[in-house]
DNA sequence: TCTGGGGTCCTAGGACCC
DNA sequence: TCTGGGGTCCTAGGACCC
C-alpha cells in the first residue's frame, strides 16, 4: 500500500496560514511577474477562475468578486512545504517528496485501520503547519493519486480515502474521469475524447498491445498501475538533478546586450548557488533568449548556445563567465527580448569531480571563496554579495501583491500585538 | 497594455562503429 | 542477379508532471 499526501490549493492555503481572515473566501495566487493564475482557493474556482488564466483576463471578475490576489511568494511556500514534509516524515516509516505540495509515503509495518492513520496524518499537519491536506491510500501510486482526489472531493471521507478492495477500485475506475488520471495529459486526453473514452475503466479495457503501440512504455505503466500492478517504484532519496535552470519573463521588452548580460549573469549566479546547494558540479552552461511569442506582428527569435567547460565546476565566477559568453553568441540586435534563461547540465557529484591535469584553477581556494559568498548571502540576505557582472540593480519583476516572507526573514516576522 | 517556471522520461532517426 | 547483423551515441521532438 502507498499513501499520497496532497496539500489542498497549496499556495492559496499558504497565504491563508497568516491571513486567517481569508479562510472561506476566494483567494488566487499569481505566477512570477503577476502574469497568470497559478493557484486558486475553492471559492475562487467556484467563481470560474481558470488555472493558468492570464491575470488581465480575470481582473474585472476579481474586482467585482472581492477576490484577494497574491503575487507568488516562493520563499514562503518552500518553507511551509518543508514543514509539511517534516511532519509527515515523523508519522510514517518513509516518504518520497514528489513535488512542493505532494509526498508519497510508505505504509509498511503500519497497522489497520489505515484510513484512521491517514486522518491522523491530516489532522496533525493541519494543526502543526496550518495547511489542509488530502490523503489517498491504495495499492499503487497511480491509484493513490486517484484516492487522494476522491478524499479532496468528498467531505464525508474526512480527508482520507483508503481504496484497497478490488470491487471498490473497480467501482471507482468506472466513474473516474480518464483525463484526470496521473499520466494522462492534455494530448492523450484529447485523443481519448475523440475515441469516446471517458472513464479510467474504459482505458483499462483497451488491449495491452494497443496501449503499448500508441502510448509507449509510459502509457503501459499507467495502464498496469490502474489494475493494481506496481510499476512506479517508491524512491526515498531524490535522485541527483540532471539539469538546473533559472529563467524569467521580463515585465517589458529588453533590447540591449548590456542589460541582458547583467540579467543572465544574475540568473547564472542563482543557478550556481542551487548547484552548490545540491553538492554538485556541472560541465555545461547554456544561455538562451526569447522574443515575445504573443506578438505575432513582430519578428520572433529563439536561440540557445551551449558552453562546454574544460572541467566541472560549481564556481559562480566561472558559471557566470560562461553564461555571458553563451549570451553573446545568441544575442542579435534589433529584437525585443521578453525572456532569458540559463541552464546547467552534465551535473555530477562535487565529491567525484574529475580534475584537469593542466588546470590553472586552485579548487580549494575557489571553494573557500564560494563558501564565503554563500555564508554572507545567507546571513545578510540574498544579493548582499554579488559578482560585478550582475551590476548594482537586481532584476525586478512585477510583484504588486506580494505577502511578507513570514517564516524566512527576520524583518518580516508577523508581529502579534497584545489587545 | 497585460500571457509562468522548473523539471523528467521516451522515441525515432541519423551517424557511426565492428 | 545476388549487397548483413548487431550495436552505441546523439539530438530533436513529444509526451508527461507539478
A44 confidence band (pLDDT: 50, 70, 90): very high
Each residue's pLDDT tens digit, A143-160: 999 999 999 999 999 999
Q: Where in chain A are the domains?
A: 1-163, 165-238, 244-386
With distances taken from each CA to the C1' atom of nucleotide C17, the closest residue turns out to be: A183
User: For A1-163, which CATH class?
Assistant: alpha beta
As ranges, strand C nucleotides with an atom below 7 A of a protein CB are 14-18
Each residue's pLDDT tens digit, A51-108: 999 999 988 888 887 899 999 999 999 999 999 999 999 999 999 999 999 999 999 8
Nucleotide nearest to A31 (CA to C1'): B4
Each residue's pLDDT tens digit, A324-345: 999 998 899 999 999 999 999 9
Distance A57 CA to B2 C1' (A): 9
> In whole angstroms, what separates CA A154 from the centre of its chain?
26
> In whole angstroms, what separates CA A241 from the centre of its chain?
13
- Fold category of A165-238 in CATH: DNA polymerase; domain 1 (1.10.150)
Q: N- to C-terminal Cα distance for chain A?
A: 49
Nucleotide nearest to A32 (CA to C1'): B4
Distance A263 CA to C1 C1' (A): 68
Task: Let me know if domain A244-386 sits in CATH 3.30.1490.100.
Answer: yes
Within 13 Å and on the Cβ side, how many CA atoms surround A333?
3
pLDDT at residue number A109: 84
Nucleotide nearest to A187 (CA to C1'): C15
Classify each residue of A117-138 as buried b or exposed e, where b means 16 or more C-beta atoms within 10 Å of its C-beta. bbbebbeebeeebbbbbbbbbb
**Mean pLDDT, residues A365-381:** 94
Amino acid at each position: 500500500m502507498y499513501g499520497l499526501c496532497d496539500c489542498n490549493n497549496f499556495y492559496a492555503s499558504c497565504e491563508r496560514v497568516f491571513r486567517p481572515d481569508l479562510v472561506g473566501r476566494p483567494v488566487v495566487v499569481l505566477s512570477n511577474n503577476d502574469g497568470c493564475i497559478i493557484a486558486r482557493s475553492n471559492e475562487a474556482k467556484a467563481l470560474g477562475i481558470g488555472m493558468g488564466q492570464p491575470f488581465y483576463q480575470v481582473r474585472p471578475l476579481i474586482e467585482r468578486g472581492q477576490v484577494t490576489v497574491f503575487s507568488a511568494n516562493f520563499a514562503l511556500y518552500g518553507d511551509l512545504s518543508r514543514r509539511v514534509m517534516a511532519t509527515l516524515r515523523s508519522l510514517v516509516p518513509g516518504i518520497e517528496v514528489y513535488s512542493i505540495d505532494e509526498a508519497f509515503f510508505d505504509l509498511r509495518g503500519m497497522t489497520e485501520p489505515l484510513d484512521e492513520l491517514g486522518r491522523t496524518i491530516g489532522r496533525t499537519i493541519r494543526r502543526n503547519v496550518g495547511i489542509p491536506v488530502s490523503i489517498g491510500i491504495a495499492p499503487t501510486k497511480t491509484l493513490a493519486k486517484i484516492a487522494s482526489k476522491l478524499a479532496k472531493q468528498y467531505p464525508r471521507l474526512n480527508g482520507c480515502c483508503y481504496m484497497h478492495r478490488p470491487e471498490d477500485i473497480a467501482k471507482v475506475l468506472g466513474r473516474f474521469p480518464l483525463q484526470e488520471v496521473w499520466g494522462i495529459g492534455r494530448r492523450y486526453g484529447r485523443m481519448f475524447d475523440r475515441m469516446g473514452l471517458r472513464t479510467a475503466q474504459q482505458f483499462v479495457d483497451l488491449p495491452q498491445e494497443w496501449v503499448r503501440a500508441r502510448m509507449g512504455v509510459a502509457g503501459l505503466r499507467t495502464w498496469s498501475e490502474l489494475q493494481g500492478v506496481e510499476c512506479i517504484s517508491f524512491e526515498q532519496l531524490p535522485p541527483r538533478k540532471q539539469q538546473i535552470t533559472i529563467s524569467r519573463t521580463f515585465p517589458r521588452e529588453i533590447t540591449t546586450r548590456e542589460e541582458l548580460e547583467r540579467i543572465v549573469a544574475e540568473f547564472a549566479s542563482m543557478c550556481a548557488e542551487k548547484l552548490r546547494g545540491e553538492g554538485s558540479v556541472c560541465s555545461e552552461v547554456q544561455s538562451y533568449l526569447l522574443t515575445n511569442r504573443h506578438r505575432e506582428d513582430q519578428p520572433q527569435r529563439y536561440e540557445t548556445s551551449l558552453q562546454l567547460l574544460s572541467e566541472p565546476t560549481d564556481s559562480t565566477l566561472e558559471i557566470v563567465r560562461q553564461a555571458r559568453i553563451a549570451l553573446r553568441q545568441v544575442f542579435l540586435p534589433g529584437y525585443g527580448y521578453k525572456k532569458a534563461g540559463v541552464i546547467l547540465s552534465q551535473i555530477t557529484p562535487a565529491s567525484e569531480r574529475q580534475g584537469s591535469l593542466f588546470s590553472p584553477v586552485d579548487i580549494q581556494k575557489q571553494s573557500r571563496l564560494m563558501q564565503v559568498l554563500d555564508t554572507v548571502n545567507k546571513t545578510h540576505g540574498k544579493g548582499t554579495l554579488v559578482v560585478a557582472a550582475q551590476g548594482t540593480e537586481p532584476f525586478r519583476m512585477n510583484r504588486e501583491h506580494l505577502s511578507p516572507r513570514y517564516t524566512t526573514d527576520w524583518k518580516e516576522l508577523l508581529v502579534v500585538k497584545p489587545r
